[in-house]
């Protein structure tokens, strides 16, 4: 890779939507890309649509835990290597599948994930901020929103 010149042309994106992503292995992957000559990498998470092909509601806690793990990867990686994080919101698993988790039901998840990234974590204060922004009285992250 180093000799091909590709690292000067592209920035790799590391994808992982799991709630328990392996921080250490992702940090090692970032370091491998760095050794190959890539100066920047991107991370890809999901705020919806990555937990089941026919999922109709968004389990916010799953996506929140994923983002908190990505924050750990970022804090354990060289400070200048992360270009950004992409919050994907998959609508379907392939062109022949049914739609999953339409955007309206996933907006609370998007808000929680964005606020967690912006604040470097999730706390009661962040939760209250999301509730205020969305006009909600009780944001549920570990059960499906009612």
**Which of 2, 125, 9, 15 lies closest to 73, judged by CA?**
15
Domain positions in the chain are 2-134
> What integer pLDDT is reported at residue 17 of this predicted model?
96
Write out the two tokens for 87.
Answer: 């919050």
pLDDT at 8 over 60: yes
Task: List beta partners, residue 82.
Answer: 41
- Mean pLDDT confidence for 5-30: 96
Task: List beta partners, residue 125.
Answer: none
Write out the two tokens for 47.
Answer: 């705020």
pLDDT band at 131 (very low <50, low <70, confident <90, very high): very high
> What integer pLDDT is reported at residue 2 of this predicted model?
84
Residue range 49-107, pLDDT digits in tens: 888 888 888 999 999 999 999 999 999 999 899 999 999 998 888 888 888 888 999 99
- Mean pLDDT confidence for 11-38: 96
CA dihedral 138, 140, 145, 146 (to 10 degrees): -40
> What integer pLDDT is reported at residue 100 of this predicted model?
84
- The rounded distance, in Å, linking the Cα atoms of 10 and 122 is 32
Q: Residue 135 region, left (φ>0) first, then alpha (ψ -120 to 50), else beta?
A: left
> What integer pLDDT is reported at residue 46 of this predicted model?
96
> What integer pLDDT is reported at residue 99 of this predicted model?
85
**Which of 71, 14, 12 lies closest to 43, judged by CA?**
14
Matching residue, tokens 């994106």: 13
1 contact partners, CB below 8 Å, separation of at least 6: 7, 36, 37
> What integer pLDDT is reported at residue 134 of this predicted model?
95
pLDDT at 145 over 70: no
Mean pLDDT taken over the chain: 93
> What integer pLDDT is reported at residue 44 of this predicted model?
97
Q: What's the pTM value of the predicted model, to 2 decimals? A: 0.92
């Amino acid at each position: 890779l180093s000799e091909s010149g590709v690292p000067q042309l592209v920035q790799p994106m590391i994808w992982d939507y799991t709630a328990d992503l392996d921080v250490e292995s992702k940090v090692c992957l970032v370091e491998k890309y760095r050794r190959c000559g890539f100066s920047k990498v991107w991370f890809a998470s999901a705020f919806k649509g990555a937990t089941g092909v026919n999922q109709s509601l968004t389990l916010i806690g799953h996506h929140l835990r994923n983002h908190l793990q990505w924050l750990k990867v970022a804090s354990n990686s060289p400070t200048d290597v992360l270009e950004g994080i992409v919050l994907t919101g998959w609508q379907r698993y392939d062109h022949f599948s049914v739609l999953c988790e339409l955007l309206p039901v996933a907006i609370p998840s998007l808000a929680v994930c964005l606020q967690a990234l912006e604040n470097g974590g999730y706390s009661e204060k962040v939760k209250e901020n999301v509730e205020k922004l969305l006009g909600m009285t009780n944001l549920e992250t570990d059960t499906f929103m009612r």
